[in-house]
Structure 1
Amino acid sequence: MYREVGVSAVFGVIFLLLFIPLQAYLGKKTSVLRLKTALRTDERVRLMNEIIQGIQVIKMYAWEKPFGKLVEKARIKELKVIRYVSYIRGILLSFIIFSTRVSVFISLVAFALLGNVVTAEKAFVITSYYNILRQTMTIFFPQGIAQLAETLVSIKRIEKYMLYDETDIGRDDVPDDRTSENSSNDKVPNSTQSTITKGSIEDMKYIDSHESLADVGKGNGIVNPVGITIKELVAKWDPLVAENTLQDVSLQIKQATLMAIIGPVGAGKSSLIQAILGELPSSSGAIDVNGVVSYASQEPWLFSGSIRQNILFGQPMEKRRYREVVKRCALEKDFSLFANGDKTIVGERGQSLSGGQKARISLARAVYRQAAIYLLDDPLSAVDTHVGRHLFDQCMRNFLRGKVVILVTHQLQYLQHADQIVILDKGRILDVGTYESLKESGLDFAKMLRESKEDGKMEEEETRSRSGSKTYQRRISETSLESLDQTHDTPVQTEEGRKEGSVGIGMYKKYFQASGGFCAVYWMMLFCVTAQLCASAGDYFLTYWVNKEEQRNVQELMARMSNDTVDVRVNVTTGEDFFGKILKFVGASEEYNNYVDIYIFTALTIATVFITLSRSFIFFNLAVRAAKVLHNAMYTGVTKASMFFFNTNPSGRILNRFSKDMGQVDEFLPTVMIDVIQIFLSLAGIIVVVAVVNYWLLIPTVVIGIIFYFLRDFYLITSRSVKRIEATTRSPIYSHLGASLTGLSTIRAFRTQRILVKEFDSLQDLNSSAFYVFISTSRAFGFWLDVFCVIYIAIVTLSFFLMGDAYGGNVGLAITQAIGMTGMVQWGMRQSAELENTMTAVERVVEYQTVDPEGQLEATGDKKPPPSWPEEGKVTFDRLSLRYFPTKGADAVLRELEFEIKPREKIGIVGRTGAGKSSLINALFRLSYNEGCIIIDARDTGSMGLHDLRKKISIIPQEPVLFSGSMRYNLDPFDEYADEKLWKALEDVKLKSVIQDLPSGLQSKISEGGSNFSVGQRQLVCLARALLRENKILVMDEATANVDPQTDNLIQATIRQMFADCTVLTIAHRLNTVMDSDRVLVMDAGKAVEFAPPFELLTGISGSGIFEGMLKETGKGTYEQLLEVARKNYETIHQSNV
């Protein structure tokens, strides 16, 4: 350029060089903002994960709105940073349009002001040079900075993760090439199903045989005897908390020992198990574990797959042992109830099964494994008396005889059969000894024994899929399965649906409507078009100026040759030139000097810069608004969806929409869309300019346009489908990671990390394959676009040779514009295709906005109950039937129930597995599809709003759910109550001292899922919530399942006192909790078979003997004790009535 225009070139290059520090600054700013965006996106996604996991509890508490405010708050913080990042991207994109033009302007104006003549040769040669520099300086360089910033953010996040302390728990160094015969009949499941059994059974078999060398019971010559030695162990979960979880714990557990660990809620029982597993880090002391360990967790962990896969957990199939384990774990009857036996598919976290079934499958997995040490964390908490006795006698005492068995339990009636008993309290061992020695010791243990009123607990809720019925549960698709001896493929979870064909214009309309409506879009497009008009006008004006200068130069030369005197201000004939007509129209003099040209060129250049920047800010502002509206609409759609939606969609699939798809809408889509708009307007400007110069060039332009259209259409057919495949193969990765993190302690205890890693690799490979296929198709598309662009440039160039042109400016303009169009067309076509591919993310987000809602949240008019409703608490079931599937022809789980619950009556609900107890709760809260009606205080609950109903019924769910945030928020998300009332509720449930000991009291932070509280403590928090709501109707679903008997008795007394004037429905998992009920409802196969006072049912006055038979299974002593309780309560009620 210096050779062409001399020192003038330096001024333009300096302008471009000035962009480097600006771009570097913007790049650094982008890096900082991207890190902030990632952190705030993580926070929002974590919150959404909690909401999806606890959606049933949220619905029953009518907490959708407060959680919506939390999500909205997190979303606003996230979008605030995204907006800044978008503005920076807009500035960098604007540089592409005006940087070259401003540089050309500066160089040419400087060249003209220095007294030189601007010719076509000089003008368009330096324009070509600047176009080359533009590619580097304004496109690739800022893109490189942005990509580097993104990379640095990712590297820092990965580095932070990689620098976390690692654990040696369950680590194995067995080579990958060690294999053995696979004797399992299970086939490898489809790769889209998130199971933990795929492709690694051989490795697992070797690992088991390798580890079993430590088992001296096999006579393998290991010197150290099997057992566990704990010496002065001090451990705590949070190193920042002063109080230790375990304090000075010392134990010696020898081979062939059945040890029971007991203690009140929060005593440290589960923490001791976790310490033995190596999950709880020790501050001091030592744990020596000799022997292979197997583990059954307190909260049973199941993954999406068949029951058999959950039991085998990657171990080889040994039919004799498998059958024996199934029998010992009392699963034979359950398998007979399932149409598909042990090949029945369980959903994510096993939600298609009852709590008792999940506990027994988890126990079967632990028992099936050949181990020397078995850690059983309260597996008897969710089974009825008969099953509990069977598990203890046949499994733990008999089948595991000769092994080390450590049993955490609240079932004190089994303690007399334990070899050793450990009493824990506040992390310390109070005493260790045999049953007899502790009973005679005078410790609180004896008091606990005396206060234990029953032999066991009823198994919790039934499975919702019984023999002969098809029920769709959370995250499952139950299809036909075969029995144990058959070898058909295990069925897989239903794959995520994909739409076919192009993304319709309607999807673009929805996106633009979300951005602020068509008026806002109109103004944005007006700025875009105006910016391009200014840019193209500047390009064409340059041609006009060059042609005029050349014409003047020719006239000067001719005048000199004829010895005529020529004035510097010549009469330039503009002919039909566009700008010549404009100047004539506005009355400009035909004789004017160079300064007028410079003023016009300057005005057009400044207008281009200003309008282009304004266009970018307006567009990205609309894009952020669209992202906000779409996210809020999707959240509303998902939270208003029925439980059937959550029953049939894995959490990873739902979360995928809120994370990856929403991320595409937030950041990638706006960049691609503005790029497409900018490129196609630029192409339109180029075509217009070239056509003005030589209208015959419109013919090849139209032809090449048609070719490009068909190329793009052909490419999109493939790329769109591949993009959708990539999105759907991403969901199983999220589900797999979620399941793995939830069951981490079980996975480590079984040393099955390799199986999980292999499955993750398989799922990731599938997703990566789709991604790289997409990239390959994109590159192939770009190659063919380049080929046709070269042909088009050749045609444009040759056309001037064939036709000839009087003006060099016209030739230069057409050729430089065509050359500049080459990369632009390729990139534009690829980006337009990418735009449609990215719009599939909008399509997927909008799809969840339109999920069928479960009903109106708030009723209006006469249908809305008064604030004081219900005044009495009378509940009437009128021909009520319930189904879980929305199709009306689906099998009913409850069948035409007709009974009435009187005001303030205390009702116990009992029944065997599959009876319909929890389905009754679902019907009351309208979580499923009801036929018939439920009337509360003369109002049909089916006609009122869901929140109108659910806010008026208190629920203590079986699976306690806490959310991350403060304890205060978990108790009172609406801020309706004073702190004094919250403390009173915590005191009533015996949690006040626990919360007071926390550093921040009510403001203390709760970990995700409430993991920093024990299961029993979480259940007590749920009880405190019920106390605060002060409703007339209370439903308790195993409210005290995970607390010790002493705490249970205290809480039962609290409930009787605090809810004396309320209607209370209690699903009985401990029969002693319903003996003082006014009446007991006995459910069987979805029908109410008995409904009378417990004393009448036990003495044959009423009923058919079902309830009496259930109570007799607890043993003669317990039966007589509870019969006496029922008699006294019956007499008290009748005396009061008299």
Structure 2
Amino acid sequence: MLLHAFVLAPLEALVTFGLIWWNIGLPTLFGYAVLLLLVHIQLIFSRQFSRYRKTTMACTDNRVQTINELVSGCQIIKMYNWEKAMEKRVRETRRHELSNIYKASCLRALNIALSFSALPLICLATFGGSWLMGRTLLPENIFATLAFFAMVRIPVTFTLPYAIEKFSEARVSARRIDQFMQVDILLNKREKVKTDNRDHVIKMADASFSWKDIPSLFSLNLKIKRGDLVGVKGAIGTGVNLSGGQKARISLARCLYADADLYLLDDPFAAVDPKVAKKIFDQCIGPRSLLRGKTRILVTHQTHFLVEADQMMALTDGHIDELHIEQRSTTEPSNDTSEADSYNDKQMDWTLNTATTDMNSIVKNEISFDGAIKWSVWLTLFTSPPLRWFGFLLLIFFMLGNEALYDFTNSWLALWSSKDKTEQRSSFYAHIYLGVIIATLFIALIRVGFSFYIMLRGSTYLHNRMLKGILYTSLRFFESNPSGRILNRASKDQQVLDESLPLTLIDTIQYLLMTLGSIIIIGMNNPWVLLILILLVPTVLWLRRFYMRSSRQLKRLESVTRSPIYSLFSSSLDGLTSIRAFDVQCDFLNMFIDRIDTNSRAYFILFTAARWFGLRLDLITSLLTLVTAILAVALRHQMDPSAAALSISYCISLTGLFQWAIRQSAEAENFMTSAERIHEYGQLVPESHSNSNKSDVLIQPADDWPSRGIIEFKDYTFRYRPELDPVLKNLNLRIESKEKIGIIGRTGMIASLMVKYVKSIPNEGCYIYISLFKSNFL
């Protein structure tokens, strides 16, 4: 979007140089010398952004990775009460990130202050040099030159450095992406070889295997017949890998749907009770199961299942230590088949159920707000600690003072040029003009730097509240929100608050004040112009309101459609082994592209709507310029020439200023949707308050609690979610001090719920006593 600046900015500078030279001659060189010096300084600063951007990205990656660990390990964190330690760790990564953002913001502050003060500095060099050369300052020359410099200031001192900054950031991002693009692609090294032997599915002759370049299996000699069940046993670490119980069962379900010829089963009986393990073996893996007739290699430590295997091998130190092959009679397969059929008829009446909608789905759709951004969110951003309201009021003072100084420089120049030649030679006017311009530059630096400080403090305050909200809320929040949705707010939305929003708000306030100052100057010199504002101001406000109704929702839609991209990317990395095992890489790529397209559609409509809005603002401000010029000509005998020239020059610059100010104000409100989304997570109800007593006062135990290790449950009832039926009902249990308690139960039942969830989910009407301290939550 900014590539045109690399061509248009130098072209406009050259054309304007010719026009100004034709107007005032040699003093043009003084003004352009300052212009080129400012551009050179800004280009140096813009190139420095790439270094800070690279460091900031690394710190941001570290912070987001830490939050990802928080989301992934939320149950462990809450079980061991590690919330404060995790909060400290994330805040430390945020502190390093913020340090680099502050450094980049200082360079941005210098750039913005120089861009704001560029016109007064250029005028000082041009007209100061003309005054030193003994020339008379004529209003028609001064304000025609001022108008030309105002036209070239934005593209040369603002747009061009900004484009270079964004180009530097794009280079850093492209290099980071290129690092992933340069990673070696895992090639498919499997080769299909035709063989006449159709009895064996797998043949190994002196085969060795390694994992991450570490040899694991050595010199294997093995033959496996088609349709055999092969059992593998061995000690942990001898080439047999164990998987989690739930993951193993999900993977087993995938296997049943895949209908492959060869199945590799890595201990699917892990973390299940003997009854469920036998059912899995009988119905899914064994000789009379769904996979009968398929070749199955079963790795397990529950060796009693291997008695029904066709082959059994034991691994020791990566070698086959034992190998047993069961020889079956030729009539046995038919008997097995008939037995399996009868077994299936009695035990496995499989019917295909149609898809049903889960009315109590755990994962909830992401909520999108409606209407304008609440004032509380704006105030939170500008009145955050440590300065709070004092900082906000001081910021307003700096902004108003800076704009007053800026407008005073041009008014003083008009006053100076209106004097006769003799009085113009007085150094009084030159010294005042010099002092005011230096003050304008100095206050501009303070104003912009302080603006960045206030907004970054507000951004960090919102980030820390979001962090506390996520850390101390109930586990139900993590169950109902995908990790990508949370990471979207912690990464992209936080980046908008740290970088995009401060720049946009500074632009908005700066150019709105410049627009207001321009209107005041024009009205003071030609009050009749103000009459058109009676028509233009309501029109602009109505147009902005009309645009914002769609723009806000489009921005929210763009943010909401970005979350599925993060979710899919995160889940794809977590399940990469399964994706490759089932050869569905292309399916996931297509899903990823579809979600990118969905997000891009929302962004494209948002972008085109902004251009639609900008075009209509240009037409409105052009009408104001036309009316001002007509009135200046019509009232030429009643107006001072210098005042008329000043008002017209302000009108010419007003076209760009007003259009950009209104557009940036709309963009700032769009960016505030990110603050709104982060603020939402900062309002999450802490688990300790989600079911506290009616007075909302937490009962604190004694300082020496717990002094005795007694735990007692009285009528304890537990449910996963409020809308579901309870899974623990009226539990009454007393555990004495120093007792060791074992909990047993069927797989999928509630044997481990007391250990896993009782800490973090409160329940009404029931109590837990720990060392004689009564509470309905832990």
Instruction: Please state which band the TM-score falls in when normalised by the shorter chain.
Output: 0.7 to 0.9
1:883 is displaced (CA, Å) by 2.3
Q: In structure 1, how many angstroms separate the alpha carbons of the residues matched to 2:470 and 2:757?
A: 21
For 2:162 and 2:546, locate their aligned partners in 1 and report how far apart those are by CA, in whole Å: 28
| Aligned counterpart, 1:405 | 296
Structure 2 unaligned spans of 5+: 1-19, 328-350
- Quick check: 1:529 aligned with 2:411? no
In structure 2, what is the equivalent of residue 495 of structure 1? 365
Displacement after TM superposition at 1:521 (Å): 1.3
Alpha-carbon shift at residue 160 of structure 1 (Å)? 0.5
Q: Distance in 2 between matches of 1:33 and 1:702?
A: 47
* Residue 377 (structure 2) aligns with: 507
Q: TM-score, normalised by structure 2?
A: 0.88
Q: Which residue of 2 aligns with 1:668?
A: 500
Q: Note closer, same or farther for the CA distance 1:861–1:365 as it changes in structure 2 (3 Å cut).
A: closer
Cα separation, 2, equivalents of 1:747 and 1:82 = 38
Which position in structure 1 is the counterpart of 2:240? 269
Hey, what does 1:656 align to over in structure 2? 488
CA distance in 1, matches of 2:485, 2:605: 22
Equivalence for 1:233:
208
Q: Which deviations, in whole Å up to 9, do the C-alpha atoms of 1:401-450 show, x marking residues without a partner?
A: 44332222221222333344444456x2252412899xxxxxxxxxxxxx
Aligned amino acid, residue 651 of structure 2? A
**Equivalent AA in structure 1 for residue 415 of structure 2:** Y
Matched, 1:2 2:13: no
* Number of the residue aligned with 1:814: 647
Q: Is the 8 A contact 1:894 1:916 kept in 2?
A: yes
Q: Residue 627 of structure 1: CA displacement?
A: 1.7
Q: 1:230–1:831: structure 2 CA closer, same or farther, 3 Å change rule? A: farther
Unaligned 5+ runs, structure 1: 172-210, 271-296, 300-354, 438-482, 554-567, 570-591, 947-1138
Post-superposition Cα deviations, 1:251-285, rounded to whole Å, max 9, x if no partner, equal: 53433343333333343323xxxxxxxxxxxxxxx
Query: For residues 246 and 533 of structure 1, what CA distance do their matches in structure 2 show?
Result: 77
**Aligned with residue 514 of structure 2, among 674, 682, 689:** 682
Give runs of aligned pairs for residues 38-117 of structure 1, distance below 5 A: 38-117=57-136
Which residue among 516, 520, 530 is the counterpart of 2:391? Answer: 520
8 A Cα contact 2:200 2:223, kept in partner: no
Please give the secondary structure, in 1, of the residue aligned with 2:220: strand
Q: How does 1:778-927 map to 2 (within 5 A)?
A: 778-804=610-636, 805-855=638-688, 863-867=700-704, 869-871=706-708, 873-886=709-722, 891-913=725-747, 915-922=749-756, 924-927=758-761
Q: Distance in 2 between matches of 1:259 and 1:697?
A: 93
Residue in structure 2 matched with residue 179 of structure 1 by the alignment? none
* CA RMSD in angstroms, aligned pairs only: 2.8
1:353-408 per-position Cα deviation (integer Å, ceiling 9, x unaligned)? xx55x643421211221222211122111322122123223422324344332222
Q: 1:286-341, CA deviations, whole angstroms, 9 ceiling, x for partnerless residues?
A: xxxxxxxxxxx934xxxxxxxxxxxxxxxxxxxxxxxxxxxxxxxxxxxxxxxxxx
Please report how far the alpha carbon of residue 892 of structure 1 lies from its aligned counterpart in structure 2 after TM superposition: 2.2
2:216 to 240, 246, 260: 246
Give the AA of the match of 1:97: F
Aligned pair in 2 of structure 1 residues 228, 80: CA closer, same or farther (>3 Å)?
farther
**Hey, what does 2:260 align to over in structure 1?**
371
> Which residue of 426, 429, 433 corresponds with 2:319?
429
Question: Does structure 2 conserve the Cα–Cα contact (< 8 Å) formed by 1:245 and 1:268?
Answer: no
CA distance in 1: counterparts of 2:678 and 2:223, whole angstroms: 56
Q: Could you tell me whether the CA contact under 8 Å between 1:170 and 1:750 is conserved in 2? A: no
Question: 1: distance between equivalents of 2:233 and 2:653?
Answer: 79
CA, structure 1 residues 381+831, in 2 after alignment: closer, same or farther (shift >3 Å)? Answer: same
SS across alignment from 2:153: helix
Alignment of 1:755-770 (within 5 A): 755-770=587-602
Partner of 2:334: none
Residues 52 and 489 of structure 1: CA distance in aligned 2, closer, same or farther (over 3 Å): closer
Deviations 1:546-565 (A, max 9, x none): 222xxx25xxxxxxxxxxxx
Structure 1 residue 645, shift from structure 2 partner: 1.6
Deviation at 1:914, TM superposition (A): 5.1
Aligned to 2:279: 390
* Counterpart among 100, 124, 139 of residue 158 in structure 2: 139
CA distance in 1 between partners of 2:604 and 2:197 (Å): 51
Could you tell me how far apart the structure 1 residues matched to 2:374 and 2:281 are? 62
1:924, distance to aligned residue in structure 2 (A): 3.6
Q: Which residue of 1 aligns with 2:230?
A: 259
C-alpha contact 2:475 2:760 (8 A) present in aligned 1: no
Paired AA for residue 880 in structure 1: Y
Distance 1:263 1:397 in 2: 20
Q: Deviations over 1:897-953 (max 9, x none)?
A: 12323333333322335542233334542435353111123222437xx4xxxxxxx
- Looking at structure 1, the residues matched to 609 and 64 of structure 2 have their Cα atoms a distance apart, in angstroms, of 31
Deviation at 1:170, TM superposition (A): 10
* Secondary structure of the corresponding residue to residue 158 of structure 2: helix
> Are 2:172 and 1:153 aligned?
yes
> Per the alignment, in what secondary structure is the counterpart of residue 909 of structure 1?
coil
Cα 1:67–1:230 change in 2 (3 A) is farther
Shift of residue 675, structure 1, vs aligned partner = 0.8
**1:528 Cα offset (Å):** 1.3
Name the CA shift for 1:131/1:266 in 2 (closer, same or farther; >3 Å). Answer: farther
Q: Aligned partner of 1:906: which letter?
A: K
More divergent stretch after superposition (261-270 vs 679-688): 261-270
Residues 934 and 941 in structure 1, CA contact (< 8 A), matched pair in contact too: yes
Confirm or deny: 8 A CA contact 1:643 1:928 kept in the other structure.
no
CA contact (8 A) 1:653 1:734 kept: yes
Q: Report the residue type matching 1:264 in the other structure.
A: A
Q: Residue in 2 aligned with 1:606? A: 438
CA distance in structure 1 between the aligned counterparts of 2:434 and 2:730, rounded to whole angstroms: 84
Contact conserved, 1:169 with 1:749, CA < 8 A, in 2? no
Structure 1 residue matching 2:263: 3-state secondary structure: strand
Distance change (3 Å), C-alpha of 1:62 and 1:250: same
How far apart are the structure 1 equivalents of 2:65 and 2:435?
51
2: CA distance, partners of 1:521 / 1:487: 56
1:972-1011 matches, within 5 Å, as none
| CA gap 1:886/1:488 in 2 versus in 1, 3 angstroms | closer
Structure 1 position 153, deviation (Å): 1.0
Match of 1:352 in 2: none
Q: Which amino acid aligns with 1:869?
A: P
State whether residues 100 and 130 of structure 1, in contact with CA within 8 Å, keep that contact through their aligned partners in structure 2.
yes
CA distance in 1, matches of 2:58, 2:710: 50
CA distance in 2, matches of 1:793, 1:812: 13
Letter in 1 for 2:408: A
- CA–CA separation in structure 2 for the residues paired with 1:610 and 1:809: 28
Question: Do the aligned residues in 2 keep the contact of 1:637 with 1:849 (CA within 8 Å)?
Answer: yes
Moved more, 642-651 or 113-122: 642-651
Which one of the candidate residues 739, 758, 767 is aligned to 1:933? 767
- Deviation track 1:975-1015 (CA, whole Å, cap 9, x = no partner) reads xxxxxxxxxxxxxxxxxxxxxxxxxxxxxxxxxxxxxxxxx
Partner of 2:537: helix, strand, or coil? Answer: helix
**Which AA in structure 1 matches 2:232?**
I
d(CA) in 2 for partners of 1:222 and 1:526? 89
Task: Give the alignment of 1:313-324 within 5 angstroms.
Answer: none
Q: Does 1:298 align with 2:243?
A: yes
2:248 touches 2:266 (CA, 8 Å); kept in 1? no
For residues 216 and 633 of structure 2, the distance between their equivalents in structure 1, rounded to whole angstroms, comes to: 92
Q: CA separation of 1:601/1:225 partners in 2, compared to 1, >3 Å: closer, same or farther?
A: farther
Contact 1:420 1:435 in 2 (8 A): yes
773-782 or 921-930, larger mean C-alpha shift: 921-930
